[in-house]
Amino acid sequence: MARITLEHIAHSYYPNPQEPEDYALKHIHTSWDDGGAYALLGPSGCGKTTMLNIISGLLAPSEGKVLYDGQDVTLLTPEKRNIAQVFQFPVLYDTMTVYNNLAFPLRNRGVAANEIEKKVHEVAEVLDLSEYLGKRAANLSADAKQKISVGRGLVRSDVAAILFDEPLTVIDPQLKWHLRRKLKEIQQRFHHTLIYVTHDQVEALTLADKVMLMYEGEIVQTGSPDELFENPQHKFVGYFIGSPGMNFLPCRLDGNLARINGAAIPLSDEMAALGQKTKGKTELGIRPMYLEVHERETAGSVAAQVTGVEDQGSFKVLSMTLAQNPIKARLSDSQPVPESTAWLSFPKEKIKLYADERLVQ
């Protein structure tokens, strides 16, 4: 187990990168504490897997250093770094039994036979694989196969970290939930440093203590699930986290009011003061669930035209147009749905201001 640090890492798959667009990873300077459970969240193609492969040593970064507990491991192979990595599709040694699959990483490292036996049974126990130990791995179901892949990482007690690269993609939804809980349980029991790559926000938010959100080769925000939800540092975080994503309305600040094409929304004094200092394109952001929707005009509310409603089971999503801008609100199941005009009020403490896509604070 180790603390992992990436120092000024940049990576390009081209031999002579010129433009910023040539880089898969632009500038990553961050660290993962020993024993923490982290999620790397981001859309496809944002550089998550590249970063994971740099941490594990499958890929050498174009620029920067990788440190494990302060030691430079940039040039070491994955084997020397002593890291475990689980891939999107289960990787098995098909001709081997489950037992031999689990024992394989230990045998390659010359561990004594009785030690291997002990370790394999222990891990099989944790992963509920004991009954399959004598079976050939090739004939098992997808989730059992992925558990074996995880198990090959867990058998080595001294691994620096366990890296997961979207490991639940090929698993059925109901088993996904079970396996996710299992991973969390294992992490809490063994205190491995866990880095989990995913594009599924639910997975990231339930599994990790800390979520790193990536966008176009950069980490745009690191924080607890709660921080990411309540305080998106970047417009992208607002869009990506939460369902539906955050509303953003282009606005012009006028004293204590944010004017959106004529609709005026009152701001708190602090927010107005912050707004005075901003430059660039200003936008007002608010989560759909914090918007208060009324059927009649109330003090401080603004009118919006209802364009649609979508029932999502336990809640409804109301789509509206507010002064030519699309806006969404979340309604509880019991709440009445306004017919054609909804009156929206914006709770002052929930309003965020963004200048050039970044949070004003």
Partner 1 sequence: MEKLENNKAWFLISPVIVIVAFSAIIPLMTVVNYSVQDIFGPGERVFVGLEWFKQVLHDYRLHDALWRQFLFSGLVLLFEMPLGIGIALMMPKKGWGVSASLVTLALPLLIPWNVIGTIWIVFTRPDIGLFGYIINNLGIPFDHTASPTDAWVTLMLMEVWHWTPLVALLAYAGLRAIPEAYYQAAKIDGASAWAVFLYIQLPKMRGVLTIAVLLRWMDSFLIYAEPYVLTGGGPGNSTTFLSIYLVKVAVGQFDLGPGAAFSLIYFLIILLFSWLFYQALQNVGKGEAR
Nearer to partner 1, 118 or 178 (CB): 118
Q: How far is the CB of 4 from partner 1 (least distance, A)?
A: 15
Separation between Cα atoms, residue 273 and residue 267, nearest integer Å: 10
* The pairing of beta strand 194-198 with beta strand 37-41: parallel
Q: How far is the CB of 31 from partner 1 (least distance, A)?
A: 22
- 131 CA to centre of own chain: 34
Q: Is 93 a binder of partner 1 (CB under 8 A)?
A: yes
Dihedrals phi, psi of 226, to nearest 5 degrees: -65, -45
Q: Is 78 a binder of partner 1 (CB under 8 A)?
A: yes
How far is the CA of 323 from the CAs of 173, 280, 308, in angstroms? Answer: 40, 21, 16
Q: Is 84 a binder of partner 1 (CB under 8 A)?
A: yes
The b/e string for 21-40 (b: 16+ C-beta within 10 A; e otherwise) is: eebbbbebeeebeebbbbbb
Given CA atoms 58, 64, 66, 71 in this order, what sign does their dihedral have? positive
Identify whether 244 is preceded by a cis peptide bond (ω within 30 of 0).
yes
Q: Is 233 a binder of partner 1 (CB under 8 A)?
A: no
Among 32, 38, 68, 99, binds partner 1 (CB under 8 A): 99
Among 18, 44, 108, 276, binds partner 1 (CB under 8 A): 108
Among 67, 104, 305, 315, binds partner 1 (CB under 8 A): 104
Q: Which two tokens stand for residue 123?
A: 């891990």
Separation between Cα atoms, residue 168 and residue 330, nearest integer Å: 29
Q: Which two tokens stand for residue 159?
A: 């691994």
Q: Which stretch binds partner 1 (CB under 8 A): 98-106, 274-282, 331-339, 344-352?
A: 98-106
Separation between Cα atoms, residue 40 and residue 61, nearest integer Å: 18
Q: Which stretch binds partner 1 (CB under 8 A): 30-38, 100-108, 268-276, 328-336?
A: 100-108
Among 72, 94, 310, 311, binds partner 1 (CB under 8 A): 94
Q: Is 135 a binder of partner 1 (CB under 8 A)?
A: yes
Separation between Cα atoms, residue 65 and residue 248, nearest integer Å: 38
Q: How far is the CB of 91 from partner 1 (least distance, A)?
A: 4
Binding mask 16-55 for partner 1 (x = CB under 8 A): -------------------------------------x--
Q: How far is the CB of 108 from partner 1 (least distance, A)?
A: 4
Q: How far is the CB of 246 from partner 1 (least distance, A)?
A: 35
Among 96, 175, 302, 309, binds partner 1 (CB under 8 A): 96
Q: Is 134 a binder of partner 1 (CB under 8 A)?
A: yes
Decide if 361 contacts 275 (C-beta within 8 A).
no
Q: Is 121 a binder of partner 1 (CB under 8 A)?
A: no
Among 26, 136, 348, 358, binds partner 1 (CB under 8 A): 136
Nearer to partner 1, 165 or 218 (CB): 165
Beta bridge partners of 341: 305
E strand or H helix at 307: strand 302-311
Separation between Cα atoms, residue 161 and residue 194, nearest integer Å: 6
The contact set with partner 1 (CB under 8 A) reads: 53, 56, 58, 77-79, 83-85, 87-89, 91, 93-97, 99, 104-105, 108-109, 134-136, 149, 152-153
